[in-house]
C-alpha cells in the first residue's frame, strides 16, 4: 500500500487552540480520510512549537517553568483534536528529546557541507513573529504584525541562505506545484528574486535560555524556524515516512516553509517535501481573527451546539480553500439548514422512510436510469476537484446530485405509484426507490471524509454491513447496494436548527471557553476597556499639537506591498512639487482601486522610515475600534491637496 504523509503547521503555544487552528487541522484530517479512500495508507502529523522568548516570558508571568507552561498548552491542543474527532497519528512537541536530536543532526549536516558559519548580529527583532527586521531602527514596528521591535546584539550561527537563490528558483521552475495556490507561488518567486530577498539567516540565539542547545556551542540555542520546521521530520524519525507529501500551512508563514525549509534540506542533502499548500485567513464577519481584536472563535462551542460535522461542512463548503474566508454564526446555521437539514438530511429521511413504508424496510431491485449516469460523473468530478484541493467545488457537485435525485423523486411521485397495484407501476416504484437509495449510498461514501460521523449514521440506516471506512473509489460505482437488503432504523441525522437559540447558546459557551482559556494562560478575565479619562495629566498643550503637520492628500497610485498582507504602497499628492511615497497598514481593509483619487489625511512631518524595503515619507490617518478594521479619515466637502488641518 502506498504511503501518504501530510502535516499541519506546528502550532505555537502562545495561544490556546481556536477555530483558525481547527480549520487547518480539519482540512488535514479530511485529506487523510480522502487519501484512505484512494487506497493510500495516510499519516498525519501536528504538534506544538514550544521554544522562544514569548514562551519564556509567558511562563514567567504565570510563575511556571517554560516546560510546565508548555505541558498545559500542548495537552490542550491534543485534547481539542480528540474532542473534534480528528485522526492525528503523530503529535510532536519541539521540547521532546527526540526532536532535539533531529535538529542537531540537521545542523551538523548543514555545517559539514559548508553552509553554516559563526558571526554577530545587531538589529531589530520582533518577538511576536520571531522575525529579524531588516532596515529598521530602534522602536520601529514589525512590518508583519505592527508591534514594536526590540534591538538585540548577539553572536549567532548563520545559515548561507544567499547561496540558494538559483537552487530554489530551479525547484520552483521544475516543480511548479511545489507551492500552491498560484498567488502564494508568485509571492515566493518575487521574494526570492528581489534584491532584499535571500540574505544569510541567523539560526541560533545566545541571549535566550528556553530552546534546544547547540551541542558543544554553549550558550547558543537554535532559533525558532530552524527548530520548528524540523518537527515535520522528527515526528516520523525512523518510520520511513519522510519526505512529506504535503505541508498544509497558513499564508502568513509561506516564506519560512517555501524558502527557508527547502534551503535547509538542500544544504543537508535531505529529501524535500513534495508540496506546500498555503491557505487563506479565516475572517470573523470580514475581520481577521486575532487576540488583539478579541474576535477569536473556538471550535468546541460549535461542536457542543451543532456537532462537529456542521463545522467541518461549513469550513469546506463555504470557503474556497486557498482564499480568505469569512465565518459568522448566522452563515454557519444558514448553511447547515439549507444544505444538511434540507438537502442531504431530507434525502436520507424521505428515501429510507418510503422504503420502510412501501417495501417493508427491504431495498427493492431496480433498473439503472438517468441518475446512475449522473452519479458516475459526480464520482469522477469529485475526485478531480478534491485532488486539486477544490473542496467547495467538489461538494457543490455532490449537492447537485442530491438536488437531481430530489427532483427525480418529485417527478416519479412514488407516493402515487404505491397506490397503483398494476405491475408496471410497482416496477416503476421499485426503480424509483432503488435509484434514490443507491444515489444516497454513493453520496454518503463521497461525503464521508467531510462528514465522518453523519455519513456513518446514514450508512448504518441504509443497512450496509461493511464499515464505511472500507469504501474505496476504485470500487465505488452504481449497483453496489444489494437488493433485498434490510435497512436500519430511520432517524433524523440533521434536524433543523433554530438560528436565534443556537447562536445564543454558542455565544454563551464561547464566553465560558474564553474564560477557561484565559485562566489556562494565566491571564485575567477580559473586561470592557474603561472610558478614556480626560484629566489634566493626559492632555497636551496646544503648542505640542501645532507641531503635527496634518495635510489633505490625494492618492494617485496604490498597490499592495509584495510579501505583506497588511501594507499598501501609495503615492500621495499633498501639494508639494513631487508626490509623497507612503506605506500604510491598510491593505486588509481597502483594495488599491478603492484608494486611487481618494482624499485622505496625512501626517506630513514624520521622519521617514523603511517598511519592507520601501521608504515611507508620512503617515495616513485612520480610526479603528479595539484594533479592528481601519477606517480612513476623509472629507465631505471639496478641498485641494496640501490644505492644512487646524
CA distance 115 to 160: 5
- pLDDT (0 to 100) of residue 286: 53
User: Residue range 270-274: average pLDDT?
Assistant: 98
Whether residue 509 contacts residue 304, with contact meaning beta carbons closer than 8 Å, is answered with: yes
CA distance 6 to 4: 7
At 349-364, the pLDDT tens digits run 999 999 999 999 999 9
Strands 599-603 and 550-560: antiparallel
- pLDDT (0 to 100) of residue 528: 43
CA distance 462 to 454: 13
44-53, 99-108, 563-572: the lowest-pLDDT one:
563-572
Which set of grid coordinates corresponds to residue 449?
471524509
Residues of the chain with CATH 3.40.50.620: 3-279
The residue to which cell 545559515 is assigned: 159
Closest alpha carbon to 192 in 592, 563, 590:
563
The domain defined by 541-632 carries CATH number 2.40.50.140: yes
Which set of grid coordinates corresponds to residue 88?
492525528
Closest alpha carbon to 184 in 268, 276, 78:
276
Chain centre distance of CA 76: 19
SS (HEC) of 247-291: EEEEHHHHHHHHHHHHHHHHHHCCCCCCCEEEECCEEECCEECCC
At 543-564, the pLDDT tens digits run 777 788 899 999 988 888 887 7
User: Residue range 161-190: average pLDDT?
Assistant: 96
DSSP string over 409-467: HHHH-HHHHTT--SHHHHHHHHHHHHHHHHHHHHHHHHHTTTSHHHHHHHHHHTT--S-
Is pLDDT above 60 for 626?
no
CATH architecture for segment(s) 339-475:
Orthogonal Bundle (1.10)
Residues of the chain with CATH 2.40.50.140: 541-632
Better-predicted residue by pLDDT, 615 or 290 = 615
**Would you put residue 114 in left (φ > 0), alpha (ψ -120 to 50) or beta?**
left
pLDDT-above-90 percentage for the chain:
70
Under the banding of pLDDT at 50, 70 and 90, the label for residue 289 is: low
Is pLDDT above 80 for 136?
no
CA distance 484 to 237: 50
- pLDDT (0 to 100) of residue 160: 97
Fold of the domain spanning 3-279: Rossmann fold (3.40.50)
Handedness of CA 61, 62, 63, 65 (dihedral sign): negative
User: Residue range 471-481: average pLDDT?
Assistant: 96
Q: Measure the N-to-C terminal CA separation of the chain; round to a whole number of Å.
A: 74
- Give φ, ψ of 327 to 5 degrees: -110, 135
Residues of the chain with CATH 1.10.730.10: 339-475
User: Residue range 305-327: average pLDDT?
Assistant: 95
- Helical (H) or strand (E) element with 155: strand 150-159
- Helical (H) or strand (E) element with 94: none
Whether residue 642 contacts residue 575, with contact meaning beta carbons closer than 8 Å, is answered with: yes
Amino acid at each position: 500500500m502506498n504511503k501518504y504523509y501530510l502535516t499541519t503547521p506546528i502550532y505555537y503555544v502562545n495561544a490556546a487552540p481556536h477555530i483558525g487552528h481547527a480549520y487547518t487541522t480539519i482540512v488535514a484530517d479530511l485529506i487523510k480520510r480522502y487519501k484512505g479512500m484512494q487506497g493510500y495508507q495516510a499519516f498525519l502529523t501536528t504538534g506544538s512549537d514550544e521554544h522562544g522568548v514569548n514562551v519564556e516570558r509567558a511562563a514567567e508571568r504565570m510563575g511556571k517553568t517554560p516546560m510546565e507552561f508548555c505541558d498545559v498548552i500542548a495537552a490542550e491542543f491534543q485534547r481539542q483534536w480528540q474532542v473534534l474527532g480528528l485522526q492525528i497519528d503523530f503529535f510532536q512537541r519541539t521540547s521532546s528529546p527526540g526532536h532535539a536530536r533531529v535538529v542537531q543532526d540537521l545542523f551538523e549536516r548543514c555545517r559539514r557541507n559548508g553552509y553554516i558559519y559563526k558571526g554577530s548580529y545587531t538589529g531589530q527583532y520582533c518577538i511576536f513573529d520571531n522575525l529579524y527586521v531588516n532596515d529598521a531602527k530602534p522602536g520601529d514596528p514589525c512590518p508583519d504584525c505592527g508591534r514594536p521591535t526590540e534591538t538585540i546584539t548577539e553572536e549567532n550561527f548563520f545559515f548561507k541562505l544567499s547561496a540558494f537563490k538559483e537552487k530554489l528558483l530551479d525547484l520552483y521552475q521544475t516543480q511548479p506545484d511545489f507551492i500552491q495556490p498560484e498567488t502564494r507561488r508568485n509571492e515566493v518567486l518575487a521574494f526570492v528574486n528581489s534584491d532584499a530577498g535571500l540574505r544569510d539567516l541567523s539560526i541560533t540565539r545566545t541571549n535566550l535560555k528556553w530552546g534546544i542547545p547547540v551541542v558543544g556551542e554553549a550558550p547558543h540555542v537554535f532559533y525558532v524556524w530552524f527548530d520548528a520546521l524540523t518537527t515535520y521530520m522528527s515526528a516520523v524519525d525512523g518510520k520511513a515516512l519522510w519526505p512529506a507529501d504535503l505541508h498544509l500551512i497558513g499564508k502568513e508563514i509561506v516564506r519560512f516553509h517555501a524558502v527557508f525549509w527547502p534551503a535547509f534540506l538542500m544544504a543537508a542533502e535531505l529529501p524535500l517535501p513534495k508540496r506546500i499548500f498555503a491557505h487563506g485567513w479565516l475572517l470573523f464577519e470580514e475581520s481577521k481573527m486575532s487576540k488583539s481584536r478579541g474576535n477569536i472563535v473556538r471550535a468546541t462551542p460549535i461542536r457542543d451546539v451543532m456537532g462537529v460535522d456542521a463545522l467541518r461542512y461549513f469550513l469546506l463548503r463555504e470557503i474556497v480553500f486557498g482564499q480568505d474566508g469569512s465565518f459568522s454564526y448566522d452563515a454557519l446555521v444558514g448553511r447547515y439548514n439549507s444544505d444538511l437539514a434540507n438537502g442531504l438530511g431530507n434525502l436520507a429521511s424521505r428515501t429510507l422512510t418510503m422504503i420502510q413504508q412501501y417495501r417493508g424496510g427491504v431495498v427493492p431491485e431496480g433498473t439503472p436510469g438517468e441518475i446512475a449516469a449522473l452519479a458516475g460523473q459526480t464520482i469522477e468530478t469529485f475526485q478531480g476537484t478534491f485532488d486539486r484541493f477544490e473542496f467547495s467545488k467538489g461538494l457543490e457537485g455532490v449537492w447537485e446530485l442530491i438536488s437531481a435525485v430530489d427532483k427525480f423523486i418529485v417527478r416519479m411521485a412514488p407516493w402515487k405509484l404505491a397506490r397503483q397495484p398494476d405491475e408496471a407501476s410497482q416496477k416503476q416504484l421499485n426503480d424509483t426507490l432503488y435509484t434514490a437509495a443507491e444515489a444516497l449510498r454513493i453520496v454518503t461514501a463521497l461525503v464521508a471524509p467531510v462528514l465522518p460521523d453523519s455519513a456513518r449514521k446514514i450508512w448504518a440506516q441504509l443497512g450496509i454491513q461493511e464499515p464505511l471506512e472500507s469504501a474505496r473509489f476504485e470500487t465505488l460505482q452504481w449497483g453496489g447496494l444489494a437488493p433485498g437488503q434490510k435497512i436500519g432504523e430511520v432517524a433524523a441525522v440533521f434536524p433543523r436548527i433554530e438560528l436565534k437559540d443556537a447562536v445564543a447558546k454558542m455565544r454563551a459557551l464561547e464566553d465560558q471557553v474564553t474564560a477557561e482559556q484565559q485562566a489556562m494562560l494565566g491571564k485575567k478575565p477580559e473586561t470592557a476597556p474603561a472610558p478614556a479619562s480626560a484629566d489634566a495629566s493626559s492632555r497636551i498643550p496646544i503648542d505640542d499639537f501645532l507641531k503635527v503637520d496634518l495635510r489633505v492628500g490625494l492618492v494617485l497610485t496604490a498597490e499592495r506591498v509584495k510579501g505583506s498582507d497588511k501594507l499598501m504602497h501609495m503615492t500621495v499628492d499633498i501639494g508639494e512639487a513631487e508626490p509623497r511615497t507612503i506605506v500604510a497598514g491598510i491593505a486588509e481593509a481597502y483594495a488599491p482601486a478603492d484608494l486611487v483619487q481618494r482624499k485622505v489625511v496625512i501626517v506630513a512631518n514624520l521622519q521617514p522610515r523603511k517598511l519592507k524595503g520601501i521608504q515611507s515619507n508620512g503617515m495616513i490617518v485612520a480610526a479603528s475600534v479595539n484594533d479592528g478594521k481601519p477606517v480612513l479619515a476623509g472629507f465631505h466637502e471639496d478641498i485641494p491637496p496640501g490644505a492644512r488641518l487646524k
